[in-house]
């Protein structure tokens, strides 16, 4: 029983140490989401500008 407790303690300590050296995927995903959001905002603004130009062109023609 004591051996089992010692083994579990060593395993938990090993996993704890490993967690400091493991690659942080959350920050990578957060950066990717931020980049996508910025790109979408740029595209939306470009589309709004194009729609505004088209509407102004219609007013001038019509």
- pLDDT confidence of residue 62: 61
**Structure pTM?**
0.57
d(CA 41, CA 53): 18
- pLDDT confidence of residue 37: 97
d(CA 51, CA 7): 67
Other beta carbons less than 10 A from residue 48's beta carbon = 10
Which residues of the chain fall below pLDDT 70?
A: 62
- pLDDT confidence of residue 61: 73
d(CA 13, CA 9): 6
User: DSSP letter at 1?
Assistant: -
- pLDDT confidence of residue 55: 87
Token pair of 15, please?
């996993």
């Amino acid at each position: 029983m004591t051996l089992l407790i010692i083994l579990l303690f060593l395993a938990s300590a090993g996993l704890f140490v490993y967690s400091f050296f493991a690659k942080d995927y959350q920050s990578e995903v957060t950066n990717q989401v931020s980049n996508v959001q910025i790109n979408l905002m740029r595209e939306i603004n470009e589309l709004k500008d194009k729609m505004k130009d088209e509407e102004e062109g219609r007013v001038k023609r019509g």
